[in-house]
Amino acid sequence: MEINQNPIRILLFYKFVKLSENDVDWFIRTHKKFCEDIGIKGRILVACEGINGSVSGTATEMEKYKIALRNDERFSDIRFKEEMGIIHPFTKMKILKREEIVSIKFDVDMSKAGQFITAEELYDWYEKGLFEKGDAIIFDTRNDYEFKVGHFKNSIQVNTKTFREFPNALKNFEHLKGKKIVTFCTGGIRCEKASAVMREFGFENVFQLKDGIINFIQKFPNTYWEGKCFVFDKRMVSDVSPSSENKPITNCEVCGIVCDLYKNCRNPSCDRFVVECLECQEKLNGCCSEHCLEELNIHFKEKSLRNQGRKEKIVLEM
């Protein structure tokens, strides 16, 4: 018997489509029931501007899901990106109502979004050396910690901590106005919004990479993508394609060895994303530095004192 080494399928999808408040509420109610009935896990954001989600399950469950979502005529043309995995990257099924499906806190006309460029076209532009020669710009709309573990060759990073900083950060790129700019992000949703914002700010020649990094790496592994891809689930860092041979481009921030393990510092008052090898994680008890380890120990001491206090109080009250 053949053993399937990647039994889990992970779907990523989004679509900007105008929904009324009632549509949103109705969709959340019925969709939640449907997902629970077929037993899949994931996280889906729903807003008056559309839906944005990621779900995981077996291949059969994911086929059922795709058919059901496309049966809704508003989502009949929705595109799915698909990855394979060993375990569910989600622990629950969550469907959440939001103001925006990708939060930028900036009112933008989505009909202004940049023209699509396909993975094939982008590959062709690379082959022709457009980015190397400066005839076109490849612009990373993701956050700094995502850029760090992997990015397109020759790409310029917008250098933000969150997507909400994007509109403001554009003032550092005035010199690129008039240039041919290709924006990209993980699955395509952020650069759809980012490209609309850029055009609103007077960047005229803006393209968006259709279906994002994931689709590009799957079609052209080991070409113009360097490193790994940051993902917003338990995995944090993904190879995206089973045939990817990309080496990590990051080092452990504590000891410096080549490493692409991302984690949050365990010190609650720090909580920053840090690249840290397993050995250092163990040595520092999940913290990013000696300083954070000290703070964590103080935090634990205070917590245990508080708990003792509570116990004593309970005893006194009895």
Is 261 a binding residue for Zn ion by CB under 5 A? The answer is no
For residues 208 to 247, the per-residue mask of contacts with Zn ion, x marking binding by CB under 5 A and - elsewhere, is ----------------------------------------
Q: Which residue, 95 or 277, is less far from Zn ion as judged by CB?
A: 277
Residue 316 neighbours by CB under 8 Å, 6+ apart: none
Q: How far is CA 254 from CA 66, 149, 277, 288, 290, in A?
A: 43, 16, 8, 7, 10
Answer for which of 95, 292, 293, 296 binds Zn ion (CB under 5 A) is: 292
| Residue 284 makes contact with Zn ion by CB under 5 A | no
25 or 302: whose CB is closer to Zn ion?
302
How many residues bind Zn ion (CB under 5 A)? The answer is 10
| Residue 73: HSE in the Cβ half-sphere, 13 Å Cα cutoff | 0
Among positions 130, 277, 284, 296, the unique one binding Zn ion when judged by CB under 5 A: 277
Q: Quick check: 57 and 39 in contact, CB under 8 A?
A: yes
Does 267 participate in binding Zn ion (rule CB under 5 A)? Answer: yes
- By CB atoms closer than 10 A (0-12, 13-18, 19+), residue 256 is exposed
End-to-end CA gap in the chain = 63
Q: Which is nearer to Zn ion, 66 or 283 (CB)?
A: 283
Our finding on whether 270 is near Zn ion (CB under 5 A) is yes
185 in catalytic set? yes
Compute the least distance from the CB of residue 279 to Zn ion, in Å: 6
Instruction: Please tell me which residue in 35, 185, 265, 287 is annotated as part of the active site.
Output: 185
Question: By C-beta, is 278 or 305 nearer to Zn ion?
Answer: 278
How far apart CA 287 and CA 218 sit, in angstroms, is 34
Closer CB to Zn ion, 96 or 278, in the complex = 278
CA distances from 316 to 69, 308, 310 (A): 58, 12, 10
Find tokens 């914002």 and name the residue. 197
Structure-token pair, residue 43: 């996280």
Residues that bind Zn ion (CB under 5 A): 252, 254-255, 265, 267, 270, 277, 280, 288, 292
Instruction: Supply the residues annotated as catalytic.
Output: 185
